[in-house]
Structure 1
Amino acid sequence: MEEKAKEWWNAWSEEFQTEGDIDVAVAFGPGAPEGDDLGLLGDVDGEKAIELGCGGAQFGLALSKRGADVTGVDISEEQLAHARRLADEEGEDVEFVESSVTDVPMIDDATYDLAFSAFAFQWVEDLRACFEEAYRVLKDGGRFVFSVDHPFYKVVDHESHEVEGSYFDDAPRRVHSEQKDAEMGIYGRKVSEVVNLLIEVGFTVEAMREPGYEDPDEYVNDFGSFEPELMAKVPPTVVYAAHK
């Protein structure tokens, strides 16, 4: 499925980046506040940080502006092309590596203080291998902070707001685009699966955040297909923090 994901993002990168118009900011996903209001990243000034599944690297560039020495990893050369252009526009010196997040052999062991990712791991089939790579490249005590789509959000119908799916259904959702002749899988994993996998790999889990607001009017940003009325009932994003 990694090759499918690569084909998908190569096909859709231009539209995604252009239409999404994503800000250079610390942003974990729909409903999450920009910046480090969640209190999970810490002071990154002078630290080495690696973004796994960086896409256009808007998050990584935001940390670079805060003084971090950032490396961005992504499987899609088209996403990385956008990231490099954006880095030039922002005047930031960020290293980019074209690679799967499940196997990054060009990165040395125990190199980074922080590994982070925003809304990327739901497209990763082998999450254990991804977590093992994050663990490998982190220094002792290094932090691992990442977000994925909340598994509760997928089981609620976006029109009726009624539960229509099963939280326990772990089969990937297949997404197909006839326009681009591309398809990929999206993996909605239970919270317990993610937490237990982190522990099995060797991480110490520190925190989990489910950002959001009860009042739909609090959602002032455009979140595309994510609707404030539903987001006020079910969080679309979950953020995990752990350390090696």
Structure 2
Amino acid sequence: MVDHVTRRPVSDDESRVASRGWWDIDADDYQAEHGTFLGDVDLVWCPEGLREAEAGLLGQVRGRRVLELGCGAAAGARWLHGQGAEVVALDLSEGMLRQARAASDRSGVRVPLVQADALALPFADATFDIVCTAFGAVPFVADSAAVMREVARVLRPGGPWVFSITHPMRWIFMDEPDERGLTAVNSYFDRRPYVEQDDAGVPTYVEQHRTLGDRVRELVAAGFRLRDLVEPEWPEGHEGIWGQWSPLRGRLFPGTAIFVCDKLG
């Protein structure tokens, strides 16, 4: 059965319940569809295929204590471990952490896994040197500014906070990889989240939209300096389709925004 789709405000509690339920149920299918692309030991920032091994957005990680927030199957955390970092991988979904344990068994690379909410990180202040996430947590909470504050709390002064999200301009278009996804149909300034809900009106999937300016203001208010905003171009020879990401759309406008920030000291 297909849930009803709408745009409406949701609470943090609704978002939390929907996200945990969705990813618990979808974890196996998600990993079956995207696991080969993401790998078991690799930090891939986006469907365009930009890898940390090439981009170096986190800087020197050897000997650093790193938190991967919204880790999914934790491929990024295992890659960071291989680079000499001391890593903790955190996710809200038990289903995704189950996939992380399975990938650890396949690869032989194990990192600590923590199930927790990004709005209430179970760590002391200034615990980590680096925090990162590839499409985790940030798009799925109602109060993303609170996520920025929590990251700032657990991050040491000067530490990088790097996260990738769907590029905000993509919200103007329908989530279609073909020509249907080339026509502007939504207002960029409509911040109401995309919501799938059941017949009783209970959200089952929630994804939030903020403009680029909104994100910058959240970061500045939380005490970060925005060092770079990376908009990966679609690479030649990459013919894969990932949901609404496709060569057709990717060669015309960006699909991913990667915010590279430092906590002010």
Q: TM-score when scaled to structure 2?
A: 0.84
Q: Which runs of 5+ in 1 are unaligned?
A: none
| Aligned counterpart, 1:145 | 162
Deviation at 1:19, TM superposition (A): 2.0
Alignment of 1:74 with 2:91, yes or no, is: yes
Deviation at 1:193, TM superposition (A): 0.5
Taking the aligned partners of 1:2 and 1:46, their CA distance within structure 2 comes to 33
Deviation at 1:225, TM superposition (A): 3.8
Taking the aligned partners of 2:259 and 2:49, their CA distance within structure 1 comes to 13
CA offset digits 1:79-112 (Å, max 9, x no partner): 11111221232222311111011101x3121111
| Aligned counterpart, 1:226 | 245
| Aligned counterpart, 2:11 | none
1:48-63 equivalent positions in 2, closer than 5 A: 48-63=65-80
SS of corresponding position for 2:229: strand
Relative to structure 1, is the Cα distance of residues 239 and 99 closer, same or farther in structure 2, using a 3 angstrom cutoff? same
| Aligned counterpart, 1:85 | 102
% identity of equivalent residues: 29
* Aligned residue pairs, count: 239
Deviation at 1:154, TM superposition (A): 2.4
Relative to structure 1, is the Cα distance of residues 177 and 82 closer, same or farther in structure 2, using a 3 angstrom cutoff? farther
Structure 1 residue aligned with 2:184, among 159, 163, 167?
163
- Root-mean-square deviation (CA), in Å? 1.9
CA contact (8 A) 2:241 2:247 kept: no
CA contact (8 A) 2:48 2:232 kept: yes
CA offset digits 1:199-223 (Å, max 9, x no partner): 001111111100013x7x4424453
CA contact (8 A) 1:123 1:186 kept: yes
Relative to structure 1, is the Cα distance of residues 20 and 177 closer, same or farther in structure 2, using a 3 angstrom cutoff? farther
| Aligned counterpart, 2:111 | 94
| Aligned counterpart, 1:5 | 19
Deviation at 1:45, TM superposition (A): 1.2
| Aligned counterpart, 1:14 | 28
CA contact (8 A) 2:240 2:246 kept: no
SS of corresponding position for 2:47: coil
CA contact (8 A) 2:89 2:114 kept: yes
1:124-143 equivalent positions in 2, closer than 5 A: 124-143=141-160
Q: TM-score when scaled to structure 1?
A: 0.91
| Aligned counterpart, 1:107 | 123
Relative to structure 1, is the Cα distance of residues 47 and 177 closer, same or farther in structure 2, using a 3 angstrom cutoff? farther
Which amino acid in 1 is paired with 2:188? Y
Which amino acid in 1 is paired with 2:233? G
1:25-36 equivalent positions in 2, closer than 5 A: 25-36=42-53
Q: Which runs of 5+ in 2 are unaligned?
A: 1-14
Which amino acid in 1 is paired with 2:252? K
Deviation at 1:33, TM superposition (A): 1.6
Deviation at 1:3, TM superposition (A): 1.2
| Aligned counterpart, 1:174 | 195
Q: Which moved more, 1:120-129 or 1:36-45?
A: 36-45
SS of corresponding position for 1:243: strand
Relative to structure 1, is the Cα distance of residues 202 and 92 closer, same or farther in structure 2, using a 3 angstrom cutoff? same
Taking the aligned partners of 2:27 and 2:203, their CA distance within structure 1 comes to 12
| Aligned counterpart, 1:239 | 258
Taking the aligned partners of 1:28 and 1:143, their CA distance within structure 2 comes to 15
Relative to structure 1, is the Cα distance of residues 221 and 48 closer, same or farther in structure 2, using a 3 angstrom cutoff? farther
Q: Which moved more, 1:59-68 or 1:221-230?
A: 221-230
Taking the aligned partners of 1:100 and 1:152, their CA distance within structure 2 comes to 27
Relative to structure 1, is the Cα distance of residues 221 and 60 closer, same or farther in structure 2, using a 3 angstrom cutoff? farther
Relative to structure 1, is the Cα distance of residues 9 and 177 closer, same or farther in structure 2, using a 3 angstrom cutoff? farther
